[in-house]
Amino acid sequence: MSFVWTFAEARDGKLKQVSFELLARARKLADQLDTQTASVLIGSGVSDDVLQELIWRGADNVYFVDDPRLAEFTNETYSNVLADLIAEWAPHTVLAAATTTGRTVMPYVAIKVNTGLTADCTELSIDPDTKKLLQTRPAIGGNIMATIKTPDHMPQMATVRPKSARPLPIDKARVGKIQRVALKDHLVDERAQVLGFRSDDGDFENIEEAEYIVAGGKGLKKAENFKLLRELSALFGGAVGASRDAVDRGWISYPHQIGLSGKTVSPKLYICAGVSGSIQHLAGIKTSEYIVAINTDPDARILSVADYGIVGDLFQIVPRLTERLKEEMSPAKAAKTVGAE
């Protein structure tokens, strides 16, 4: 049977959230193909109890290539292993996240197995006539959405943006098979070795994993005004994001950019000020739980998708919002509230 595979990721014995996001995509495709799903994990030190969540989140099968030599990611060895598994089991589709790992290993694997690869997809579906994968992704700087096919080669392969889909709820009634696969010695490529890790000391925030984001756009008028958003964001312990307009103007660096040409985010709360809401930007925030938008234009597109919209001057509203939240979060206010309870 030709399964739909996902390439799961783990770190320090724990599965990354994107592994479950991929399964939501795979489950939908497998249902359209009337087939099963499988998650492939390459690594070391992940227990069956941890792997079981892949089953609960939509996998019918889990293949875990477990070996101490796979504890750290090296593209040469990981791509050898994944290509070998594909050659043995011939899946219909292989999906990976558009993370550093996924973006590195999947092009290598596509070349090894002689098939195509579409990177950074935002939508996936199955062509009802050909049963091939329809892979939709932004093109021409995010100004159009292109649907790409691999008509003549298998498997179908794509990387998917993190946070572009929500994981399926845990269903502990689901059953599946976990299979530990032995690493073949000849697949280990010792030319590249991990010597250590160094943190990024630059202007970097992991906005993809942030639960609270405050973002700004062209309406902020200049770089210095991002300090208003940083002060508000700090109250939540959140991150600062930006529209492409703000990044293109040099007001903030690219790692903060949200949208089709930047990062896709899925926070509990997304507050944006001075962001008009282009289609490209909206595609990057569509899975946010709550969206609060501040804009002077009552017809701004962002207000049509926001859970709460405020029509007004951000230079008046954001400072007032920040001060009010400081008051609500102050120790004196907290003590008074607890006493009242």
Say if residue 177 is in the same domain as residue 217. Answer: no
Say if residue 143 is in the same domain as residue 220. Answer: no
Q: Tell me, what's the pLDDT at 140? A: 66
The order of strands in the sheet holding 37-43 is: 118-121, 156-160, 93-97, 4-7, 37-43, 61-66, 177-181
Q: What does each C-alpha distance from 136 to 48, 146, 159, 280 come to in angstroms?
A: 34, 5, 11, 14
Say if residue 246 is in the same domain as residue 285. Answer: yes
Tell me, what CATH number does 283's domain have? 3.40.50.1220
Say if residue 175 is in the same domain as residue 134. Answer: yes
Q: What does each C-alpha distance from 28 to 37, 106, 206, 261 come to in angstroms?
A: 10, 21, 28, 25
- Whether residue 229 is contained in a domain is answered as yes
Say if residue 134 is in the same domain as residue 88. Answer: yes
The whole-chain average pLDDT of the chain stands at 89
Does residue 316 surpass a pLDDT of 60?
A: yes
**pLDDT of 115-156, one tens digit each?**
999 998 888 999 999 999 999 887 766 567 889 999 999 999
294, β-bridge pairs: 273, 310
- Whether residue 192 is contained in a domain is answered as no
Question: Which distant-in-sequence residues (6+ apart) come within 8 Å of 244 by Cβ?
Answer: 142, 257, 259, 261, 262, 278, 280, 281
311, β-bridge pairs: 295
Does residue 186 surpass a pLDDT of 60?
A: yes
Tell me, what CATH number does 130's domain have? 3.40.50.620
Q: Tell me, what's the pLDDT at 89? A: 94
Helices and strands per DSSP (H, E), number in the chain: 10, 17
Question: Among 47-51, 99-103, 294-298, 327-331, where is mean pLDDT lowest?
Answer: 327-331
Closest CA relative to residue 134, chosen from 116, 121, 149, 119: 149
**pLDDT of 213-250, one tens digit each?**
999 999 999 999 999 999 999 998 899 999 999 999 99
Domain limit, last residue, from 131, 152, 187 = 187
Does residue 18 surpass a pLDDT of 60?
A: yes
**pLDDT of 46-84, one tens digit each?**
999 999 999 999 999 999 999 999 999 999 999 999 999
pLDDT band at 339 (very low <50, low <70, confident <90, very high): very low
- Whether residue 107 is contained in a domain is answered as yes
Question: Which distant-in-sequence residues (6+ apart) come within 8 Å of 85 by Cβ?
Answer: 40, 63, 65, 181
Say if residue 174 is in the same domain as residue 227. Answer: no
The whole-model pTM stands at 0.72
User: Using an 8 Å Cβ cutoff, are 40 and 66 in contact?
Assistant: no
What is the domain extent for residue 114?
4-187
Say if residue 239 is in the same domain as residue 278. Answer: yes
Say if residue 41 is in the same domain as residue 69. Answer: yes
Say if residue 11 is in the same domain as residue 149. Answer: yes
Q: Which helix (H) or strand (E) holds 178?
A: strand 177-181
- Whether residue 158 is contained in a domain is answered as yes
3 state SS for 246-294? HHHCCCCCHHHEECCCCECCCCCEEEEECCCCCHHHHHCCCCCCEEEEE
Say if residue 156 is in the same domain as residue 221. Answer: no
Say if residue 86 is in the same domain as residue 156. Answer: yes
- Whether residue 37 is contained in a domain is answered as yes
- Whether residue 303 is contained in a domain is answered as yes
- Whether residue 213 is contained in a domain is answered as yes
Structural domains in the chain (count): 2
Say if residue 301 is in the same domain as residue 183. Answer: no
Question: Among 156-160, 220-224, 330-334, where is mean pLDDT lowest?
Answer: 330-334
- Whether residue 113 is contained in a domain is answered as yes
